[in-house]
Amino acid sequence: MNRRLVAAATLVLVAGVAVIVFGTVRGRTHPAPPVASISAHGAGMDHAMGAVNALYHAPEGSTPCESAYNAFKYSLDVSAQKQLTPVVLKLAPRDQFLATCGSLPAPTQQCLVPAYLSEHREACQKAKPQQDVLDSLVQLKHAMEPGSQSEMQEPSEPPPVAAH
């Protein structure tokens, strides 16, 4: 009978410890994950780069030439819709773009797609078309070299900080 009493007491003790352990673990509240705050600077950068980002997020076409046209057209549309400084200053009509692009060698066609070009700069440097051919397809706003005043600026843009 002593053994039964010891066994029963042990069982009650183990059950009591289990209730205490599981009760405290269950009752703990885990802190909520931190809410990501929106950075005004980051949002401003996203807005300012919207036309550039559009070049890389345009719908893919069935050919490299169509993909390139879609990228330039999408950037142009985004800059107009969101009132952003455009990256694409001039774009040939679709039929003309596709015909001219289609007459170029296959590596050159592929390198006209901004997303492809961004990942294959070295190879695309060799496949770059003549500037007059490129200008007949699309004219892009080029980034100014730091400290350079020679690049034409849009009238709505303030002068570079270094110019003050």
pLDDT attached to residue 19: 63
pLDDT at 87 over 70: yes
Closest CA to 55 of 73, 29, 40: 73
pLDDT attached to residue 102: 96
Q: Phi and psi dihedrals of 90, rounded to 5? A: -150, 135
Query: Hey, what are 95's tokens?
Result: 């039929």
Residue 135 pLDDT level (bands cut at 50, 70, 90): very high
The answer to whether 134 and 159 are in contact (CB under 8 A) is no
Residue 28 pLDDT level (bands cut at 50, 70, 90): low
Query: Hey, what are 121's tokens?
Result: 């700069």
pLDDT attached to residue 137: 94
